[in-house]
Structure 1
Amino acid sequence: MLRHSVVGAVAVLTASAGLGAVAPSAGAAPTIGISVDAGTSLGTVPSSGVGLNTGFGDEHMGDAQVTSLMKAAGVRQLRYPGGSGADDYHWKTHTSGDGSGWIPSNTDFDHFMATAKTVGAQPILTANYGSGTPQEAADWVKYANVDKGYGVKYWEIGNEVYGNGHYGDGKGWELDKHADKSPKEYGKNLIAYAKAMKAVDPTVKIGAVLTTPGGWPDTEKAPGDSTDWNNTVLSIAGSSIDFVIVHWYPGGTTTADLLNTPSRIAGVTSTLRSLIAKYAGSRAASVEIAVTETDGVGSPALTSQAAALFAPDTYMTWFEQGATHVDWWNLHNGTDQAPTTVNGETDYQDGGILSAGTCAGGKCQPPRDTPFPTYWGIRSLTALAQPGDTMVKSSSGDSSVSVHAVRSSNGGLNVLLINKSPQNAAEVSLSYAGFTPAAGAVTTVSHAKEGTTLTTAERGTAVAQTLPPYSITTLQLKPASKTPGADKPSPVPTPTAATPTAATPVVSASGTTGTRAQAEKGVPVGHPSPSPSSTSGGLAATGGSDAVTYSAVGGLLALAAGSVLVLRGRRRRALHGK
């Protein structure tokens, strides 16, 4: 089990009739101190930050039940046509490869856009680099934004292009028909794609595929290369792009490993920002970071509760570090792997957030479109924030509990707490700077192990909470009164999880106010190593009044049923139409 320790800067709980705090009993686990500095901003929640991958092989993406579930989960971005399949997909003919393979007729671009509109999500499209051309991509921009008026802003140029075989044994997983598969060639072609696409619509944003710092093949140099993939690509095309793309599959041999990986995001972001500053010049500050794929691949947990805890922690940590988009892998996925047992739960080894209803190893998944725990992990974010809300500094005295905090537009403060212990409840004591919470019981929205919904209840107080094992709990706090200076938190140059300064007033667990001392390897991260040779709205609230708009949408929502999922043709199995 994970041990809990006391944060010395936070008072141990004492009896308080006004706030309902009670002292821990003898022999109880130490109380974990949580501090929230509501006066220091980490930036605003991105308008389309909570994203999800969808593939052209998923004929059920537009089903009414599916779009309703995505909307309720606060999904604000949909990625299409999906992963490695994008580098073999031709949008105009809705075909893949030589066109001989079966692809659902109701997943073409117009049907996808109809799905995105129904969900209230912004599209992010992956142009075919592997077997396509700059002209094909430019034609797509024209059709999408000139002919149809969809207003698609974000365009990736290829998917995981570094997996084309240039590194390692020369046998990559990513299709790339260019004779030269080097980062130098990708950089040159990236400029050609950007020029052709922006000639059609100068407002589109072009994204460059980078390797994830710390994961393979980051820092690798193949024969003939003068430097690694990221430095080569950005040195050539740094002035032609608007965002960079990484995929975050941190893995881990245990669930505890997986749940601790968000702590590495700050270092990854710092490396990316240094690269962007080095090559983008005066435009560096405007170049965005997009995480267009992430999930628990490479760890034991894909559909069980550990993955559900990993999801909101990962989204919020990336946002706090300045990422503008994070897209979970995947809506529906399917698997050919037999289920496993993880911390007493069945894990179906499926990267989707909704069940594909398939069978493997003699055991079948729940009925199709049943939400996996990962769905509820993502949906938990709707209780924390809405787009444009202000993320503020927070910290935990023990890594077994993660914390994220957001100042809401109505003046309240929401605090998300994640207990990473699969067996033990966690006692937490919270203190606040820049915000004085109202006394009494608080509204909590939670998802616990084996739960099939979000549960709203009046529980605990603003300064004392008991977190169930393996749970996500959001406290929705109201202010006791107008808190001076809290309406406009001050920004910080680099988001960190530091504690307030010595002179900052805080509210302790006893309810008093005072001061406190400032107290990977072979293939990309998450891939197998090669051989040596009921709450809705919120963070992504949706509806007709949302900022994502479409002046025209072609196609109809098709309701397909009873079809067989197709596995993506790459090492990480998924649904991509191939």
Structure 2
Amino acid sequence: MRRALAVPLAALVAAPLLAAAAPAQSSPPPLAPPARGGTVTVTVNANAGLGAVHEAAYGANAAIWDAHMNDPVVARLYRRAGIAAVRYPGGSYGDLYHWETHTAPGGTVAPGTDFDAFMRTVRAAGAQPVVIANYGTGTPEEAAGWVRYANVVKKYGVKYWEIGNEIYGNGHYGATWESDDHQDKSPAAYARNALDFVRAMKAVDPAVKVGAVLTIPGSWPDGVVAAGDSANWNHTVIPALASEVDFFTVHWYPGTSIPDTTGDVAKLLASPPGLAEMLAQVRADVAALGGRDMPLALTEVASNIGRNTHAAGLFATDAYLTALENGVFTVDWFDTHNAVEKISTIDGETDFQDIGFLSLGQCADGVCEPPVNTPFPSYHGIEILGTAARPGDDLIRAASDQSKVAVHAVRRADGDLSVVLVNKDPATAYPVRLRYDGFTPSGRPPVTYAFTRGATSIVRAEQGGPYARTLPPYSVTTMTLSAAKGPKPAPAPGTPTARGAADGVTVSWPAAGGPRPDRYEVYRQVGTETTLLGTTRDTSLTLRGLEPGAAYTVNVLARDRAGRLSRPSAPVTFTAPTPPDSACAVRYRVTQGWGRGFVATVTVTNRGAADVSGWTLAFRFPVAGERVSSGSGGTWTSEGQDVRVVPGEQNATIPAGGSVGVGFVGANEGAYPSPTVFRLNGTVCSTL
């Protein structure tokens, strides 16, 4: 995305102007008393684990064109917000920057932004760096030299490195925003060359974790197959690099092409559930094409509309936690400082379209931002996360029955439970009724924190009870509940893995620490409910009788001799295999995409001894945002996510041992994962 290359206006604005910029962001006009919505039911299930909060979970980007990136107050603000990872040297500047000379030919480098100065800020903040190795205009040797300087010479212990930024924006697909001097700019070339980077960097320090670049579903150029390529970016890069890199990176900027209006801000606030679907699709592709589950890093995320309004703070809270619940270990806001782009008013609030979460104090059209380093609402939306979820805490499943109220939950390391509630409605207060599974609150009032509209800080209180709360309009509320007294639960089992076979799926896990449990129990997550799939005294269990093609997310819990359950393990997600010996087989392949649409081919094979005539093929899209726009080879009909195709005259019969092909043009809103189960005249086919 072009947004990844922040326009270096920040470095070009004269210092006197920055110093003199006076706050001109007036308070929004008084609002009428909020309406009161119907009661919202929130369910929290402490037995449905979503994984632990990583030490680098809350992150931000810093850029060498930003003259204020190393202001002492920035380190203090990072620490206050719990920013534990800071990415350098700044978006697309990563493919311009030469660390040894501290230059970025074609870009702007502000004084005092060299790598050592950056590291002083990171250390002062108690954070760790995430460094972009220059793929576009650099070499593996240059990257290895940076690792040597950082970790051998200076002993900084820089753990996380990326190979390039949005290198798919190098012109190969038509748009050019990323610098790339390689003659071959294809995804295959990136995969080949990235291997040289990985090997050179790890030869210097085998402990470093190196990540490679992927596209995110639903955003151009995801799915695009350019001339001369055999597959799209992800399907080329994943199989080539999954065995040697340690993680993959994606970026997400919802609302890129949406006008800056109040109604579109509502669409922005509604977008995080779509992020969950996109991340699930990426993880499924990595598992299928790379042969293993791998962590993801969301190294750039920001709101592209209403950037400096209160809504951006709500979006930040919801987006960070959604990403962390779906396999992401670090979420890095883009960026710390940026620049004024356009002055507008949204629902009574001034928006400078400044994508940074700290002000630069700039002026435009006679309107000035607050003084430099004043936090915008997006900063507070990240800051409030630390009141609920800290590194080492366990994310758990939670949901509400009101789409305008998002909920996330955390089982803290000390046994307490935190609930994060985001009211996305600008005018309506919602009373909330909470219920808990696998957790019993004590009688003490919860500790609450709130970030409400018009506020410039987070407010703490100890009030109310654990089962009811009223959420102000446009607010983030966290409430932390102490657990009722009782024996400490046993340690959770280790992270499980799943391996499919003809007779079922075997789930295996490392044993729980401490005394040997009486048994292990494997539970499936279905929404906020958990269903027991089986028990065992061993550390593996083969699950049989699974629904073919269905997705399963399971946790393992240990039960002691007194009948008490441990905390849940981290989850593992797998797709139940389809019958390998079915009389029919289906191969589904996406052959082209363009962000909001795709082309798919479906090949149906008759494995039986007799011809099949008058056939009907049925399948179901995994997410609601997919649909068939037009089809070929037959008549296509759909109802919701369910799709059926009957053949045309030319392929009305599938001969014994033969195949026929049909296809369609699809439309998608965000993710577009492949269907996993197909039925030919009601028979479940083998999915190839």
TM-score by length of 2: 0.66
The CA distance in 2 between the partners of 1:36 and 1:220, in whole Å, is: 40
- The DSSP-based 3-state class of the residue aligned with 2:287 is helix
Structure 2 residue aligned with 1:406, among 404, 410, 417? 410
Within 5 A, what are the aligned runs for 1:389-468? 389-439=393-443, 441-468=445-472
**Residue 190 (structure 1) aligned with residue 219 (structure 2):** no
Q: CA deviation at 1:441?
A: 3.5
Structure 2 residue aligned with 1:325, among 317, 320, 330? 330
The CA distance in 2 between the partners of 1:147 and 1:421, in whole Å, is: 53
The CA distance in 1 between the partners of 2:425 and 2:172, in whole Å, is: 42
Task: Give yes or no for contact 1:39–1:489 (8 Å, CA) kept in 2.
Answer: no
Residue identity over aligned pairs, in percent, reads 47
Structure 2 residue aligned with 1:292, among 280, 283, 299? 299
Change (3 A) 1:496 1:83: farther
**Residue 135 (structure 1) aligned with residue 164 (structure 2):** no
Residue 272 of structure 2: aligned partner = 262
Deviations 1:228-285 (A, max 9, x none): 011111232222211101001122741111111110123212221222223333xx23
The CA distance in 2 between the partners of 1:236 and 1:413, in whole Å, is: 42
The CA distance in 2 between the partners of 1:171 and 1:441, in whole Å, is: 55
Letter in 2 for 1:36: V
The CA distance in 1 between the partners of 2:273 and 2:487, in whole Å, is: 31
The CA distance in 1 between the partners of 2:214 and 2:192, in whole Å, is: 14
Deviations 1:98-122 (A, max 9, x none): 6xx6523311011111111011111
Residue 312 of structure 2: aligned partner = 307
Residue 367 of structure 1: aligned partner = 371
Within 5 A, what are the aligned runs for 1:13-24? none
Residue 233 of structure 1: aligned partner = 237
Q: CA deviation at 1:407?
A: 1.1
**Residue 147 (structure 1) aligned with residue 132 (structure 2):** no
Change (3 A) 1:96 1:522: farther
Letter in 1 for 2:60: L
Residue 35 of structure 1: aligned partner = 43
Change (3 A) 1:288 1:495: farther
**Residue 500 (structure 1) aligned with residue 526 (structure 2):** no
Deviations 1:368-418 (A, max 9, x none): 111101111000001102100111111111111011111112221111100
Task: Give structure 1 stretches of 5+ with no counterpart.
Answer: 1-26, 504-519, 524-578
Structure 1 residue aligned with 2:203, among 199, 218, 221? 199
Q: CA deviation at 1:344?
A: 1.7
- The DSSP-based 3-state class of the residue aligned with 1:95 is coil
Structure 2 residue aligned with 1:358, among 354, 358, 362? 362
Q: CA deviation at 1:461?
A: 1.6
Letter in 2 for 1:353: F
Task: Give yes or no for contact 1:434–1:485 (8 Å, CA) kept in 2.
Answer: no
Residue 123 of structure 1: aligned partner = 129
Task: Give yes or no for contact 2:217–2:595 (8 Å, CA) kept in 1.
Answer: no
Residue 538 of structure 1: aligned partner = none
Change (3 A) 1:340 1:366: same
Number of equivalenced pairs = 471
The CA distance in 2 between the partners of 1:202 and 1:375, in whole Å, is: 35
**Residue 92 (structure 1) aligned with residue 100 (structure 2):** yes
**Residue 208 (structure 1) aligned with residue 196 (structure 2):** no
Change (3 A) 1:502 1:202: closer
Change (3 A) 1:501 1:264: same
Within 5 A, what are the aligned runs for 1:503-542? none
Q: CA deviation at 1:439?
A: 3.0
The CA distance in 2 between the partners of 1:382 and 1:238, in whole Å, is: 32
Q: CA deviation at 1:486?
A: 8.8
**Residue 277 (structure 1) aligned with residue 281 (structure 2):** no
Letter in 2 for 1:500: E
- The DSSP-based 3-state class of the residue aligned with 2:313 is helix
Deviations 1:452-502 (A, max 9, x none): 111001233211111111000001111232278597599898996712348
Q: CA deviation at 1:41?
A: 1.5
Letter in 2 for 1:473: T
Task: Give yes or no for contact 1:77–1:327 (8 Å, CA) kept in 2.
Answer: yes
Task: Give structure 2 stretches of 5+ with no counterpart.
Answer: 1-34, 259-263, 498-522, 533-592, 597-688
**Residue 376 (structure 1) aligned with residue 380 (structure 2):** yes
Q: CA deviation at 1:352?
A: 0.6
The CA distance in 1 between the partners of 2:246 and 2:36, in whole Å, is: 52
Task: Give yes or no for contact 1:239–1:279 (8 Å, CA) kept in 2.
Answer: no
Task: Give yes or no for contact 1:53–1:327 (8 Å, CA) kept in 2.
Answer: yes
Structure 2 residue aligned with 1:55, among 32, 45, 63? 63
The CA distance in 2 between the partners of 1:318 and 1:147, in whole Å, is: 35
Change (3 A) 1:72 1:497: farther
TM-score by length of 1: 0.78
Letter in 1 for 2:314: L
The CA distance in 1 between the partners of 2:378 and 2:117, in whole Å, is: 26
Q: List structure 1 runs of 4+ shifted beyond 6 angstroms.
A: 489-497
RMSD across aligned positions (CA)? 2.3
**Residue 156 (structure 1) aligned with residue 162 (structure 2):** yes
- The structure where strand makes up a greater share of residues is 2
Task: Give yes or no for contact 2:222–2:595 (8 Å, CA) kept in 1.
Answer: no
Change (3 A) 1:191 1:436: same
Task: Give yes or no for contact 1:407–1:414 (8 Å, CA) kept in 2.
Answer: yes
Letter in 1 for 2:139: T
Q: CA deviation at 1:522?
A: 7.3
Letter in 1 for 2:527: A
Report 1 or 2 for greater relative contact order, CA contacts < 8 Å, sequence distance ≥ 6: 1
The CA distance in 2 between the partners of 1:66 and 1:333, in whole Å, is: 14
Q: CA deviation at 1:320?
A: 0.9
